Amino acid sequence: MEEKKLKKLFDSLSLKEKIYQLVQLSGEFFNTDALAVGPQEKLGIAKEVVDNVGSVLNVLGAEKVKTIQKSYLEKSTHKIPLLFMADIIYGYKTIFPIPLASACTWDPELMKKSAEIISEESCAAGAHVTFAPMVDLVREPRWGRCLESTGEDTYLNSQYAKAMVEGFQGDFTKGKSIASCVKHFAGYGAAEAGREYNTVDMSERKLRQDHLPPYRAAVDAGCELVMTSFNIIDGIPATANEWLMKDVLREEWGFDGLIITDYAAIKELITHGVANNDREATKLSIDATVDIDMKTSCYSNQLESLLKDGEISNEQIDKAAWRVLKLKNKLGLFEDPYRGASEELEEEILCSQENRKFAREVATKSAVLLKNEKSILPINSEGTKVALIGPYADSQDLIGVWALHGNTEDVVTLKKALEQRVKKENFAYAKGCDTLEDYSTFGEFGQLLDQGNGKLMSTDEKFEELERSVKIAKEADVVIMALGEHMMQSGEGGSRTDITLPKVQLELLEKVKETNTPIILVLFNGRPLILTDIDSRVDAILEAWFPGTEGGNALADILLGDVNPTGKLTMSFPYAIGQIPIYYNQFNTGRPFKESTHSARFTSRFLDCPNEPLYPFGYGLSYSTFEYSNLALDKTVMTKDEEIKVTIEVTNTGTRRGEETVQLYLRDMTGSVVRPVKELKDFKKVLLEPGEGKRVSFILTEEKLQFFTKSMEYMAEAGEFKVFVGKNSQDVLEEAFIYKLN
Question: How many Å apart are CA 229 and CA 242, to the nearest integer?
Answer: 13
Q: Which is nearer to ligand GLC, 168 or 628 (CB)?
A: 168
Q: Which amino acid type is present at position 107?
A: D
- Per-residue binding string, ligand GLC, 214-253, x by CB under 6 A, is ----------------------------------------
**538 Cβ contact partners less than 8 Å away, ≥ 6 residues apart:** 371, 481, 509, 513, 519, 520, 521
Please select the residue that binds ligand GLC; options are 9, 15, 38, 672, rule is CB under 6 A: 38
Q: Which is nearer to ligand GLC, 191 or 662 (CB)?
A: 191
Question: How many Å apart are CA 261 and CA 611, to the nearest integer?
Answer: 39
Tell me the Ramachandran region of residue 545: left when phi exceeds 0, alpha when psi lies from -120 to 50, beta otherwise.
left
Minimal distance, residue 664 CB to ligand GLC, in Å: 33
Q: Which is nearer to ligand GLC, 39 or 610 (CB)?
A: 39
Q: Which of 71, 151, 75 is nearest to 106 (CA)?
A: 151
Instruction: Give me the sheet containing 719-726, strands edge to edge.
Output: 637-639, 732-740, 719-726, 658-668, 679-688
Q: Of the listed 262, 394, 539, 668, which one is catalytic?
A: 262
Q: Which is nearer to ligand GLC, 85 or 274 (CB)?
A: 85
Question: How many Å apart are CA 75 and CA 17, to the nearest integer?
Answer: 13
693 binds ligand GLC (CB under 6 A): no
Question: How many Å apart are CA 682 and CA 332, to the nearest integer?
Answer: 38
In angstroms, the Cα distances linking 523 to 49, 50, 488 are 48, 45, 15
Q: Which of 291, 289, 299, 135 is nearest to 217 (CA)?
A: 135
Residues 51-80 within binding reach of ligand GLC (CB under 6 A): 58
Q: Which is nearer to ligand GLC, 245 or 559 (CB)?
A: 245
Minimal distance, residue 37 CB to ligand GLC, in Å: 5
Q: Which is nearer to ligand GLC, 224 or 434 (CB)?
A: 224
262 binds ligand GLC (CB under 6 A): yes
Question: How many Å apart are CA 75 and CA 697, to the nearest integer?
Answer: 62
Please, are residues 364 and 548 in contact by the beta-carbon 8 Å criterion?
Answer: no
Active site residue 262: yes
Q: Which amino acid type is present at position 4?
A: K
Q: Which of 49, 81, 492, 79 is nearest to 293 (CA)?
A: 49
Please, are residues 97 and 90 in contact by the beta-carbon 8 Å criterion?
Answer: yes
**3-state secondary structure labels for all residues of 183-196:** EEECCHHHCHHHCC
Q: What are phi and psi of 723, to 5 degrees?
A: -110, 130
Please select the residue that binds ligand GLC; options are 183, 267, 328, 496, rule is CB under 6 A: 183
Minimal distance, residue 411 CB to ligand GLC, in Å: 23
Q: Which is nearer to ligand GLC, 89 or 369 (CB)?
A: 89
Number of residues assigned to the chain: 742
Angle at 305 between CA 79 and CA 263, to 5 degrees: 65
Q: Which is nearer to ligand GLC, 131 or 322 (CB)?
A: 131
- Per-residue binding string, ligand GLC, 449-488, x by CB under 6 A, is ----------------------------------------
Tell me, rounded to whole angstroms, the distance of Cα 230 from its chain centroid.
17
Number of residues that bind ligand GLC (CB under 6 A): 9
- Per-residue binding string, ligand GLC, 127-166, x by CB under 6 A, is ----x-----------------------------------
Please select the residue that binds ligand GLC; options are 30, 143, 168, 263, rule is CB under 6 A: 263
Residues 77-96 within binding reach of ligand GLC (CB under 6 A): 87
C-alpha torsion sign, points 652, 656, 661, 667 = negative
Please, are residues 371 and 538 in contact by the beta-carbon 8 Å criterion?
Answer: yes
Minimal distance, residue 605 CB to ligand GLC, in Å: 37
Minimal distance, residue 40 CB to ligand GLC, in Å: 12
Q: Which is nearer to ligand GLC, 120 or 492 (CB)?
A: 492
Minimal distance, residue 263 CB to ligand GLC, in Å: 4
Q: Which is nearer to ligand GLC, 194 or 726 (CB)?
A: 194
Residues 523-552 within binding reach of ligand GLC (CB under 6 A): none
In angstroms, the Cα distances linking 250 to 164, 206, 275, 695 are 21, 20, 23, 44
Q: Which is nearer to ligand GLC, 125 or 664 (CB)?
A: 125
Minimal distance, residue 135 CB to ligand GLC, in Å: 12
Q: Which of 118, 111, 116, 110 is nearest to 94 (CA)?
A: 118
Q: Where are the alpha helices (DSSP H) in 53-153?
A: 62-75, 99-102, 108-124
Please select the residue that binds ligand GLC; options are 492, 543, 660, 668, rule is CB under 6 A: 492
Query: 532-554 b/e with 16+ CB inside 10 Å = b?
Result: bebbeebbbbbbbbbbbbbbbbb
Q: What is the DSSP string of 314-367?
A: HHHHHHHHHHHHHHHHHTTTTT-TTTT--HHHHHHHTT-HHHHHHHHHHHHHH-
Please select the residue that binds ligand GLC; options are 9, 37, 202, 376, rule is CB under 6 A: 37
Question: How many Å apart are CA 483 and CA 508, to the nearest integer?
Answer: 10
Q: Hey, which residues are catalytic here?
A: 262
Residues contributing to the site for ligand GLC (CB under 6 A): 37-38, 58, 87, 131, 183, 262-263, 492
